[in-house]
Structure 1
Amino acid sequence: MITARRFEQTDADEVAKLVANTMRTTNAKDYSTEYIENDLKQLTARDLIARARYFHCYVLLDGQTHQIVAVGSIGPYWGSEVESSLFNIFVAPTYQGQGVGRKLIQTLEQDPYFTRAKRIEIPASITGLGFYQKMGYQFKNGNAALDDEQLYRLEKFN
């Protein structure tokens, strides 16, 4: 059984390892090693702790192993009270395709930052695009092009 809870500072090292493993394994088919390693410089345990001060960050745990198997955050979109954004959505490679990502998005979509927002945006990787579209997110303003960060900008309206 997979359970969700808020991120705690003591989770930071395990979450940073999960993020690095996921990017190096799953995202490697869509992004260069240089791109991934550069991104990981801003996704250290220290960075995750700092971001958790501004966003609501959640982890999903495997009830049998008690390991963190997914992580994701939601926060205000550039300080807005009517728009929010999802950030740093990662599911451990061995748990992908088993409904864990869906449970993570559903958890984030129950958060007050989601329920108060009229619009929710997510910067989506090439790798995650199809998944987010299945979850109801569409290209922002119909723009299906990658941005300067090699991400798609997707949105959903409440």
Structure 2
Amino acid sequence: MTNEEKNTALYEKVFAEQETYRKWLLDQPPEEILKHSYEYVVREDILLSLEYHDLTNAQAEALLKSPGPLADIFKEFEQRETDYMDTVFDTVVCRANAVIKAEARQQPAALPGTDNGMGHSQPLPKDKAKSRTDKKPRQSVRENLQKAAAKQAPSTEKKKKPEREVR
């Protein structure tokens, strides 16, 4: 197998594992779903990272040996110290400062990547992570796997999201 094939095989295995987890989660009562929301989001992020980045042959092979590589990776991630909360608070501070500055100029503050009201968009910060240099062929793999999973899932009506109460 080539490196690309190994990485794609790993991606497909992790995707299938996430689909199984998702189906289980959707069968749970709402309170249980909320208890697992963090895990679900992190697992989705792990899947997304595998969509955009390649592992070495040895790394892909090592993870392919596991019956549940996604669960293993999530457990490893949970044990890591991150600066996530510092980043969240820094974002709160930056947003508050942007609002203060905008109010001083009497112009709405634009979030990065959004229209500033004058037809211009502020650029998003560049990601410093090593990215795939090709056109992300596993992105189409993800789309095909999602379509296949959707065909297998029984059709259910989506509940309308409750609107926020304005006070």
TM-score, normalising length: structure 1: 0.25
Q: Which has the higher contact order (CA 8 A, sep 6+)?
A: 2
TM-score, normalising length: structure 2: 0.24
- Tell which structure's C-alpha radius of gyration is larger: 2
